[in-house]
Chains A and B, each alone.
Chain A
Amino acid sequence: MYQYNEQDQTLINARVEQYRDQTRRFLAGEIPDEEFRGLRLMNGLYIQRQAPMLRIAVPYGLMNSVQVRKLADITRKYDKNYAHFTTRTNVQLNWPKLEEVPDILAELADVQMHAIQTSGNCLRNTTTDHFAGVIPDEIEDPRPWCEIIRQWTTLHPEFAYLPRKFKIAVTGGPEDRAASQVHDIGLHMVKNAEGDVGFEVLVGGGLGRTPVIGKVIREFLPKQDLLTYLEAILRVYNLNGRRDNKYKARIKILVNALGAEEFTKLVEAEWEIIRSTELALTDDYVEKIKGFFEPHPYATDAIDGLAVLENQLADNQEFNAWYERNTREHKIAGYRAVVISLKPHLKPPGDITDTQLDAVADLADTYNFGEIRSTHDQNLVFAHVAAGDLYTLWQSLRDLNLARANIGTLTDMIVCPGFDFCSLANAHTLNVADQINAKFDDLDYLYDIGDIKLNMSGCINACAHHHVAHIGVLGVDKGGEDYYQITLGGSSREDASLGKIIGKSVPQADVANTIETILQVYVENRSEEERFIETVRRIGVAPFKERVYAPVN
């Protein structure tokens, strides 16, 4: 993974001291509240319902064991011994003290981490596929490009006061595990007719109040033009995006208002001017960054572990279930990518304790070249585990309550913290997640239902991406009571689509039962091997709606 050089470290250290001075001046009354709000948000610090919340950046979801141990240590010293992973693959602390944040940032800087631009109306953390670099059919590893974007976005002087926040996701090929089509900019690595690799560029996707699927504005962008093209898009947005209404300020609104064609014209005209400037990438720089993402030194005899593994899978049904649900193919024979479930039974999705963080760091050192990835759906990934190590790794993870074999199933939910923590939320989410977990505890039932994506947001801001879930749950406030609106048929993958609302919202007590009814309709209607989303697409939402709202006899 990328390692800071002296310049990177100087920048991060200077940013800590800059923020320390800003905090000092704020506490001394020299910076008005509203202005400090802008400054602290650009450093990831929110003021929440019960305490501040600090969002720490995990650039494109990649960490090493030293960093993860540091996170554990920070949760012990400054917080309540746990942290929470988000859909931007970042990590949040729920109980830091405002005055101590500069010290936390200084500790993070020691391990090449920071909280720069994790909130605010600026360029946010770039995300990518959590299986980047290990999936067999990738066109190219997207992570070097994410790092190039990270550097370009970090403390960009022109784009720190955009109309609204701005998020970029990159995929290494046609498969999309980064929800790229609902990002302000989605970049897909593609190969053109001449065999050159470049980027397909999508703009104007997004969720929130106005969910929109991004539009392709350029089918092929040569690699060396990546930053000039991004800069052209950002400049057009910065100058033309709406600033009078924050709900209409995202780039998706601008793209829709102008039309994709007109928007593209503006971008291309700006790009013509800057395409050949100093911002054009150099081969040297790209090669240097790529050098940080060379394949790990895989063991040539890892393949020998396959025979052992086969016996272990045959002998242990529980291990077998975990292997089937929580591991994925790796391009090197004899290795697997392992998803570490942060969706245990009756615990907040995405949460991890200090003890678990420390243990995960140790396991990463033993089994995964010291690397840990965070995923868009709030889990962790060990991307390179030798077949012969899987069983012992599984045992360790099981002892840590990190081996629930539910990846891709109904209980592998994306859930925002909701009303318990967030001051924007209209409704609770964590208790409903518990309700769903309690109801659907039977793994055999979950395996029978198969691949399904359930996301739940506590308000219309859609942090948990409910619009693009197969089953989306949105908390709403009805006269002081929590109600939940249900959508069906969304997807954040390469076949991205927005879910359709099935009808009036249901009371809190009925959410899990309603989901059960929906699943019954699926089971009755599915053809063999048909996944939930495919059935919904084939039969539409009407049969689900009919059953859910059927009069009770």
Chain B
Amino acid sequence: MPLLINRAVADDHWLLVDEDNLSTHIDEDIVVPYELFAANTEALLNAKGTLGVRVNGDQDLNLLLQYLDKLALVAIEFPAFTDGRGFSFARILRRSGFTGQIRAEGDVTRDRLEYMERCGFDAFAIPADRYSADIANAFDEVSVHYQGSADDERPIFRQ
């Protein structure tokens, strides 16, 4: 699955672990599902590697907001392209001071990349069958923004 970070194709060095292999990899750079993080918060925060959490719109973002300085990555799942909760999640993470990677996963395709980036996503896992070499053009289709964005909070009347 092609991964874009800051609009460029990148390799993924993160390992997604589950309950079964958590103990084997706990000191590596890992991404854990939200439930696993909720159940093993202390152990994960004290482990040696850097930590990412995968979250979806049904889960409580407030838990992550307590530990933002300890997280290096938050992966937000889009179960369907129509599910817009992830946009607000990214926005809330950035305004709460999160500077790590925010990765969009799931139903992530070209025509939402620009809005996702403006909300604070900087990494995008694109399904292989929806990836094309010119996909990064999607980020600059509309250059004027009435609203503020994650990298510039000023709406048009303060720009």
**Chain A residues in the interface with B (C-beta under 8 A):** 7-8, 10-11, 14-15, 17-18, 21-22, 30-31, 35, 38-39, 121, 151-152, 154-163, 227, 235, 238-239, 243, 273-274, 277-279, 281-282, 284-285, 288
Q: Quick one: closest A residue to B154, CB to CB?
A: A278
A10 touches B144 (CB 8 A): yes
User: Among the listed A7, A22, A31, A273, which residue makes an inter-chain contact with B144, where contact means beta carbons less than 8 Å apart?
Assistant: A7
Q: A14-B142, A155-B145 are in contact. Are A281 and B157 (CB under 8 A)?
A: yes
Which 6 interchain pairs have the tightest Cβ spacing? A161-B84, A285-B157, A157-B115, A157-B118, A11-B144, A14-B142
Q: A14-B143, A31-B111, A157-B149 are in contact. Are A278 and B88 (CB under 8 A)?
A: no
Smallest Cβ distance from A165 to chain B, in angstroms?
12
Residue numbers in B under 8 Å from A285 (CB-CB) = 157
User: Among the listed A7, A11, A158, A163, which residue makes an inter-chain contact with B119, where contact means beta carbons less than 8 Å apart?
Assistant: A158
Smallest Cβ distance from A155 to chain B, in angstroms?
6
Tell me if B82 is interfacial: C-beta within 8 Å of chain A.
yes
Within 8 A of A (CB), among B79-104: 81-85, 87-88, 91, 95
Q: A11-B144, A22-B111, A38-B81 are in contact. Are A157 and B87 (CB under 8 A)?
A: yes
Residue numbers in A under 8 Å from B147 (CB-CB) = 152, 155-158, 279
A10 touches B85 (CB 8 A): no
B118 touches A238 (CB 8 A): no
Residue numbers in A under 8 Å from B119 (CB-CB) = 157-158
Tell me if B148 is interfacial: C-beta within 8 Å of chain A.
yes
Q: Quick one: closest B residue to A150, CB to CB?
A: B146
Residue numbers in B under 8 Å from A151 (CB-CB) = 146, 156
4 extra interface residue pairs, beta carbon distance < 8 Å, beyond A31-B111, A243-B83:
A151-B146, A157-B147, A157-B149, A160-B115
Can you pick out 13 interface pairs between chain A and chain B where the beta carbons lie within 8 Å of each other? A10-B143, A21-B141, A31-B111, A160-B87, A235-B91, A239-B85, A243-B57, A273-B95, A278-B148, A278-B153, A278-B155, A279-B155, A282-B158
Tell me if B114 is interfacial: C-beta within 8 Å of chain A.
yes
Smallest Cβ distance from B132 to chain A, in angstroms?
8
Tell me if B50 is interfacial: C-beta within 8 Å of chain A.
no
Smallest Cβ distance from A114 to chain B, in angstroms?
12
Smallest Cβ distance from A279 to chain B, in angstroms?
6
Residue numbers in A under 8 Å from B145 (CB-CB) = 155, 157
User: Could you tell me the distance between the alpha carbons of A303 and B141 in the complex, rounded to whole angstroms?
Assistant: 53
Residue numbers in B under 8 Å from A284 (CB-CB) = 157
Q: Quick one: closest B residue to A22, CB to CB?
A: B111
User: Could you tell me the distance between the alpha carbons of A235 and B153 in the complex, rounded to whole angstroms?
Assistant: 16
User: Could you tell me the distance between the alpha carbons of A271 and B158 in the complex, rounded to whole angstroms?
Assistant: 20
Q: A158-B115, A161-B83 are in contact. Are A15 and B142 (CB under 8 A)?
A: yes
Smallest Cβ distance from A166 to chain B, in angstroms?
11
Q: A7-B156, A157-B87, A159-B84 are in contact. Are A18 and B144 (CB under 8 A)?
A: no
Q: Interface residues of B toward A: which range? A: 20 to 34
Residue numbers in B under 8 Å from A15 (CB-CB) = 142
User: Could you tell me the distance between the alpha carbons of A273 and B55 in the complex, rounded to whole angstroms?
Assistant: 23
User: Could you tell me the distance between the alpha carbons of A151 and B141 in the complex, rounded to whole angstroms?
Assistant: 18
Residue numbers in A under 8 Å from B84 (CB-CB) = 121, 158-163, 238
Smallest Cβ distance from A299 to chain B, in angstroms?
35
User: Could you tell me the distance between the alpha carbons of A7 and B116 in the complex, rounded to whole angstroms?
Assistant: 22
User: Could you tell me the distance between the alpha carbons of A161 and B144 in the complex, rounded to whole angstroms?
Assistant: 20
User: Could you tell me the distance between the alpha carbons of A159 and B90 in the complex, rounded to whole angstroms?
Assistant: 12
Residue numbers in A under 8 Å from B111 (CB-CB) = 22, 31, 35, 39
Q: Quick one: closest B residue to A18, CB to CB?
A: B141
User: Could you tell me the distance between the alpha carbons of A7 and B154 in the complex, rounded to whole angstroms?
Assistant: 15
Within 8 A of A (CB), among B50-67: 57
Q: Quick one: closest B residue to A158, CB to CB?
A: B87
Smallest Cβ distance from A270 to chain B, in angstroms?
9
Smallest Cβ distance from B118 to chain A, in angstroms?
4
User: Could you tell me the distance between the alpha carbons of A283 and B141 in the complex, rounded to whole angstroms?
Assistant: 31
A155 touches B146 (CB 8 A): yes
Smallest Cβ distance from A55 to chain B, in angstroms?
20
Residue numbers in A under 8 Å from B88 (CB-CB) = 158, 235, 238-239
Residue numbers in A under 8 Å from B85 (CB-CB) = 238-239, 243
User: Could you tell me the distance between the alpha carbons of A10 and B84 in the complex, rounded to whole angstroms?
Assistant: 26
B146 touches A152 (CB 8 A): yes
Smallest Cβ distance from B11 to chain A, in angstroms?
26
Residue numbers in B under 8 Å from A21 (CB-CB) = 141
User: Could you tell me the distance between the alpha carbons of A382 and B152 in the complex, rounded to whole angstroms?
Assistant: 42
Residue numbers in B under 8 Å from A157 (CB-CB) = 87, 114-116, 118-119, 145, 147, 149
Residue numbers in A under 8 Å from B141 (CB-CB) = 14, 17-18, 21
User: Could you tell me the distance between the alpha carbons of A447 and B11 in the complex, rounded to whole angstroms?
Assistant: 76
User: Could you tell me the distance between the alpha carbons of A243 and B91 in the complex, rounded to whole angstroms?
Assistant: 20
Within 8 A of A (CB), among B107-154: 109, 111-112, 114-116, 118-119, 132, 141-149, 153-154
Smallest Cβ distance from A285 to chain B, in angstroms?
4
Residue numbers in A under 8 Å from B82 (CB-CB) = 38, 121, 161, 243
Residue numbers in B under 8 Å from A238 (CB-CB) = 84-85, 87-88
A154 touches B155 (CB 8 A): no
Q: Which of B95, B119, B156 has the most CB of A within 10 A?
A: B156
User: Could you tell me the distance between the alpha carbons of A457 and B114 in the complex, rounded to whole angstroms?
Assistant: 38
Q: Which of A17, A154, A227 has the most CB of B within 10 A?
A: A154
Residue numbers in B under 8 Å from A282 (CB-CB) = 157-158
Q: Which of A38, A159, A278, A281 has the most CB of B within 10 A?
A: A278
